[in-house]
């Protein structure tokens, strides 16, 4: 479990955006993601994951539990823009049967399938350091490392 207390803000469907400035360096993993209020690890919407050693590769994932109970995931990686340079706006539009990922106002990826979450979720913005997924911090990392957040916005349609 990710936490022991019920999240204080959760929503079902809508749009999420965050304007962030991300750190570079091996072993840093800034992320913007969503988890269900049940605090289970499935489903999960990864709006942005960035490996600090690959600052021009934006990772986006959708995780869910399959009918057989096994964890499933789909992912997409986009590259070409160094996300550690300047401020960037990342987000998703989440609706029944669809999740659409955006970066700086441009659509990056979409999933339109049954595995799209249909339960309330909360939003997490964090900076992880090291771990099995990305390895230890590199010599190029300057501490204290930080992920800067200018603003976070969540919208919902009035008829929801």
Predicted pLDDT at 7: 59
Active site residue 44: yes
Inform me whether the pLDDT recorded for 4 exceeds 60: no
| Cα 50 from Cα 60, distance rounded (Å) | 9
Inform me whether the pLDDT recorded for 160 exceeds 80: no
17, 49, 115, 119: the catalytic one is 49
Closest CA to 155 of 60, 91, 61, 89: 91
Active site residue 49: yes
Quick check: 20 and 126 in contact, CB under 8 A?
A: no
| Cα 7 from Cα 5, distance rounded (Å) | 6
Distance of CA 149 to the CA centre of its chain: 14
Confidence at 1, pLDDT banded by 50, 70, 90: very low
Strands 98-103 and 44-49: unpaired
């Amino acid at each position: 479990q990710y936490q022991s207390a019920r999240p204080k803000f959760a929503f079902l469907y809508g749009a999420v955006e965050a304007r962030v400035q991300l750190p570079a360096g091996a072993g840093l993993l800034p992320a913007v993601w969503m988890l269900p209020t049940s605090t289970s690890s499935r489903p999960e919407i990864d709006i942005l994951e960035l490996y600090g050693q690959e600052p021009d590769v934006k990772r986006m994932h959708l995780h869910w539990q399959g009918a057989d109970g096994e964890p499933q995931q789909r992912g997409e990686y986009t590259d070409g823009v160094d996300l550690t340079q300047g401020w960037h706006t990342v987000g998703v539009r989440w609706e029944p049967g669809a999740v659409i990922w955006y970066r700086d106002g441009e659509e990056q990826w979409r999933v339109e399938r049954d595995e799209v979450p249909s339960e309330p979720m909360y939003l997490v913005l964090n900076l992880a350091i090291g771990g099995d997924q990305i390895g230890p911090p590199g010599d190029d990392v300057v501490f204290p490392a930080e992920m800067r957040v200018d603003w976070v916005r969540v919208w919902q349609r009035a008829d929801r």
